[in-house]
């Protein structure tokens, strides 16, 4: 099962507590617009901000959700690049 995007987890936890985006924003020191953009995936937050959000909502912050995996051998080109003339 694929992990949910962190923004959706934030939204679900926030609405589960009955909090508005504005209320969460005040608690973590940002704007409701920023919370909205994080929840919809249009913007990210610093690790510090995401940590504050996770702490206020009581959710686990898994850094693996935010770090793109490094390319492995399976991502390598199978044939050498040859420019077209």
Q: Is residue 79, in this structure, part of any structural domain at all?
A: no
Q: What is d(CA 36, CA 50) in angstroms, rounded to the nearest whole number?
A: 13
Q: How many H helices and E strands in the chain?
A: 4, 0
Q: Is residue 44, in this structure, part of any structural domain at all?
A: yes
Q: What is d(CA 35, CA 4) in angstroms, rounded to the nearest whole number?
A: 17
Q: What is d(CA 60, CA 43) in angstroms, rounded to the nearest whole number?
A: 20
Q: How many structural domains does the chain have?
A: 1
Give the CATH number for residue 38. 1.10.260.40
Regarding pTM above 0.75, the answer is no
pLDDT digits (tens, 9 = 90+) for 31-78: 999 999 999 989 988 889 999 999 999 998 766 555 555 566 665 556
Q: What is d(CA 52, CA 58) in angstroms, rounded to the nearest whole number?
A: 10
Apex CA 40: angle with CA 38 and CA 42, to 5°? 70
Range of the domain at 29: 6-64
């Amino acid at each position: 099962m694929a992990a949910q995007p962190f923004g959706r987890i934030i939204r679900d936890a926030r609405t589960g507590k009955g909090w508005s985006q504005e209320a969460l924003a005040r608690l973590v020191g940002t704007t409701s617009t920023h919370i909205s953009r994080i929840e919809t995936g249009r913007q990210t937050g610093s690790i510090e901000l995401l940590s504050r959000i996770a702490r206020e909502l009581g959710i686990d912050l898994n850094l693996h959700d935010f770090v793109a995996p490094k390319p492995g051998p399976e991502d390598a080109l199978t044939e050498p690049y040859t420019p077209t003339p």
